[in-house]
Amino acid sequence: MRWPAPTWPGPICLRRTGALTAASWRRSWCSSSSPAPAAASRWLPDLASSKKLGAFSITEPAAGSDATATKTTAIRDGDHYVLNGTKIFVSNGEVADTYVVFASTNPARGARGISAFVVEKGAPGFGFGKKERKMGIRANPTRELVFQNCRIPKENLLHKEGFGLFTAQTTFDCSRPGVAAQALGIAQGALDETIAYVRRRRQFGLPISGFQAIQHMIADCATQIEASRALLYATAKAMDRALKPAYDKAIADREIIYDVMNRLGVKRWTKESAMCKLYCSDVAMKVTTDCVQMCGGIGYMADFPVEKYMRDAKITQIYEGTNQIQRNEIAMMLVKELASAEKAEG
């Protein structure tokens, strides 16, 4: 028996999953969300034009979901900071030119002692450790970063000392919809491939697309994808409308975006961006699993694209904060909102 030829156009797959674009976009975003104006003009043009790649590095062996447990230190020494520690699981590791690195400038202050820095590839004392072997998104390298008395100019501090976790959270507010978009692309790509396959594949003398069991799975997948798209697009549009004036003003006045957001009373988008990431990634995992099922044995084979979509979908439930952490944040924000509303009513 001949299986239908796999339809696996590599570049199209990358475009569909958006894996690389999402990764580089969100890394670059982080760098753009907070640097002082001088720093911004040094790094942002090349990042924005994709001449250079960025990376975002907060995770450590003992600080995953709990970033407050950061052990990497950055101690001020004259006009420099000296970094020591190890970061793990860094997307774009080694291929990126600039790394946003979170380190404690004041360990005694715990979470409030963490600060964000830009470290350039080639900085003295900055090296790369283990390259991870992964289930999915293998086109993007994931690496360990090692800092051994790494000296960087004091100007590489983003915003102010102690604002690291705030920088990280504000970055996540904008980057989580990027992961949601990646998940949406993966789910759509898997379903497109699957519908094409079930139309061609015949069993019991009929195309398997004629069986109601398959039709219902297709209908459920397509409906969940459309619901993801609606949530993500609505959120992205609302965020654009709300944030653009603040970003335009920050650029025009060469001010730090946080300060402008605070002054203009622009709200944070933590809850909505977490909802997008949570929902779209859970849908991507379910849809890709169902697509493998609809394709049967060939769906499980590495020669056929759908198994890759399933492997790639999994990461969207894990990085940029696991989906358990998204749920925690959504619930926390809802409780806070109600508490503030009650306080306002007196």
Ligand X SMILES: Cc1cc2nc3c(=O)[nH]c(=O)nc-3n(C[C@H](O)[C@H](O)[C@H](O)COP(=O)(O)OP(=O)(O)OC[C@H]3O[C@@H](n4cnc5c(N)ncnc54)[C@H](O)[C@@H]3O)c2cc1C
**Strand 157-158 vs strand 80-91: parallel, antiparallel, or unpaired?**
unpaired
End-to-end CA distance of the chain: 74
Choosing from 81, 89, 147, 279, the residue that interacts with ligand X (CB under 6 A) is 89
Stretch that binds ligand X, among 177-185, 281-289, 319-327, 336-344 (CB under 6 A): 319-327
Residue 281 interacts with ligand X (CB under 6 A)? no
Residue 288 interacts with ligand X (CB under 6 A)? no
Residue 129 interacts with ligand X (CB under 6 A)? no
Choosing from 22, 114, 150, 315, the residue that interacts with ligand X (CB under 6 A) is 315
Choosing from 64, 125, 153, 162, the residue that interacts with ligand X (CB under 6 A) is 64
Q: Please, what is the minimum distance in Å from the beta carbon of residue 19 to ligand X?
A: 10
Name residue 114's amino acid.
Answer: I
Stretch that binds ligand X, among 45-53, 59-67, 169-177, 223-231 (CB under 6 A): 59-67
| Closer to ligand X by Cβ: residue 185 or 299 | 185
Choosing from 324, 337, 338, 340, the residue that interacts with ligand X (CB under 6 A) is 324
Supply 344's token pair. 């306002």
Contact 314, 285 (CB under 8 A): yes
47: buried, middle or exposed (CB in 10 Å: 19+, 13-18, 0-12)? buried
Q: Which is the catalytic residue, given 226, 320, 337, 345?
A: 320
Choosing from 239, 318, 330, 333, the residue that interacts with ligand X (CB under 6 A) is 318
Q: What is the spatial distance between Cα 196 and Cα 191, in angstroms, rounded to a whole number? A: 9
| Secondary structure of residue 134 in the 3-state scheme | coil
Q: What is the spatial distance between Cα 330 and Cα 193, in angstroms, rounded to a whole number? A: 33
* Active-site annotation holds for 120: no
Q: Please, what is the minimum distance in Å from the beta carbon of residue 142 to ligand X?
A: 5
| Closer to ligand X by Cβ: residue 135 or 227 | 135
Backbone angles phi, psi at 85, to 5 degrees: 145, -175
Contact 90, 144 (CB under 8 A): yes
Contact 190, 7 (CB under 8 A): no
Choosing from 59, 72, 281, 326, the residue that interacts with ligand X (CB under 6 A) is 59
Backbone angles phi, psi at 309, to 5 degrees: -60, -40
Choosing from 24, 32, 34, 57, the residue that interacts with ligand X (CB under 6 A) is 57
Q: How far does CA 183 lie from the centroid of its chain?
A: 10
| Closer to ligand X by Cβ: residue 237 or 336 | 336
Which residues does the annotation mark as catalytic? 320
Question: What residues line the site for ligand X (CB under 6 A)?
Answer: 56-59, 64-65, 89-91, 134, 137, 142, 315, 318-319, 321-322, 324-325, 328
